[in-house]
Amino acid sequence: MYGVVLILVLVVTGGAIAFIGDRLGSRIGKKRLSVFGLRPRHTSILITIITGVLITTLTFGVMAAVSENVRTALFGMEKLTRSMMETQSQLEIAKADLEDAERQRKNMQQDLDATQGEVDRLHEEQSELRSESDRLHAMNGSLLQENGALLAQNDNLSAYNQELSASNTELSGQNKLLGDKNTKLTSDNAMLEKYNRALQHGIQTVREGDIVFQAGEVISSGVVRGSRPESEVADDIATLVQLANRNVSIRLGKDSGEEIWIYQPEFDAAVSNISKSPQDMIVRIVAAGNLVRGEPVRTTLLLYKNSIIYKDQEFVISRVYEFHKNGEAAAEQVLMDFLQRVNQAAAARGMLPDPLRGTVGVMQGAEFYDLAKELSGMDGSVTVSAYSKGSTDALGPLRLDLRLALQIAQ
């Protein structure tokens, strides 16, 4: 009802001001009056504008005078907005606190449930302990009775115990004498064992059959790529060391437990040289001397530059032999002589021969005997030629393809 009255007052007041302004503007227009030196027409327009301003000013003034909400909307909106934002922030904080309190309540409830369960378990254990205590009390009574009986028997045993103590004293003296003798015998036995080990070692050293690796014998070998980080090169050489250990185990027996020994500075120098080398290197792990069974397997590292020596089906050497059906034994001698010359030619070409046998080439036994049989039936000048079977690097071995050609007399 208060708002309706206020609206009616504003409508009547605005209408009155508009009427007065209109009448005043019409009179000024008819009399052609001038204000502030303006033309009459412009003066009429100015009066109309002032009337509208008065209507608006009066409207807001009356509303602000009679309504606190209007004053707040006109002059305290920013403060109201700021207050609303602060209230909203406090509401969110209160909501977060409420959620946190709810979580704490749930956690406390869980802890309470767990505590209640622990209390129930302790009550059960207490009941069990009480039952056990009652049982132990009953057993204690029985033991007290038995203890009384044993005390009575103990009086009878005391005299016998004194006799045993006298005997024990006498036996202790004898045991001490035996202990002194046993100590002397143990010392003598250790000395004899030492002499026995030294004697066995000397016997093994002088026996040729106990030399498991000859000086310079290759225990393992392989090709290691150069121009790589030292860590990768060291891993590759370590693989060759593992292969050498396996070969030593095979030679000495799987349960020997022997491992090769390499001088660490020599190992590090080999790793450094291969890492800096622009080409691949052949690494041979060879026995440093004649190794007798039971001694440390001392070895040394030998490095050689690697390269392709023979390509597949590349000619190696050939030689002409005069053969007149001399039999298989003579044919085998001819082939053995030719293989020795192949070894010499391949070694001169750059292949690494076996340090003990001096060989570089290999061929199957069946193929060798087939060639000997074929050669044994030939009569005249026979050309024996060797070709590589597959590409072969300096490490080898050189697999051979031997061919026989009988020269026809002109």
The percent of residues in the chain predicted with pLDDT above 70, rounded, is 77
pLDDT tops 80 at residue 338: yes
Q: How far apart are the first and last CA of the chain?
A: 150
Lowest mean pLDDT among 17-26, 241-250, 301-310, 364-373: 17-26
Paired with 292 in beta bridges are 211
- CA–CA separation, 279 and 275 (whole Å): 10
d(CA 60, CA 71): 9
Q: Flag whether pLDDT at 73 surpasses 70.
A: no
Which position has the higher pLDDT, 288 or 150? 288
Rounded to an integer, the average pLDDT of 275-285 is: 87
Of 373, 388, 246, nearest in space to 314 by CA: 388
3-state helix, strand, coil in the chain (%, to 5): 65, 15, 20
Instruction: Please determine, for residue 319, whether its predicted confidence score (pLDDT) is greater than 70.
Output: yes
For the cut 80, the answer to whether the pLDDT of residue 38 exceeds it is: no
Q: What is the pLDDT of residue 185?
A: 63
* Residue that wins the pLDDT comparison between 125 and 182: 125
* pLDDT score at 384: 87
Look at residue 34 and tell me whether its pLDDT is greater than 70: no
Per-residue confidence (pLDDT) for residue 31, from 0 to 100: 66
Q: Is 111 exposed, middle or buried, given 0-12, 13-18 or 19+ CB atoms closer than 10 A?
A: exposed
**Model-wide pTM > 0.75:** no
Rounded distance between C-alpha atoms, residue 224 and residue 270, angstroms: 11
Q: Is the pLDDT of residue 28 over 80?
A: no
Q: What is the mean pLDDT of residues 284-300?
A: 79
Mean pLDDT of 43-68: 75
Q: What pLDDT sits at residue 257?
A: 62
- State the Cα–Cα distance between residues 142 and 150, nearest whole angstrom: 12
Structure confidence at residue 159 (pLDDT): 63
Over residues 319-324, mean pLDDT: 85
On the question of pLDDT at 45 being above 70, the answer is yes
| Per-residue pLDDT, 309 | 82
- Judged on CB neighbours under 10 Å (0-12, 13-18, 19+), 341 is middle
Q: Would you place residue 33 in the very low, low, confident or very high pLDDT band (cuts 50, 70, 90)?
A: low
Q: Say what the pLDDT of residue 195 is.
A: 45
pLDDT tens string 221-250: 888 888 889 899 899 888 988 888 888 888
Compare 2 and 364 and report the one with higher pLDDT.
364
Mean pLDDT of the region 177-193: 66
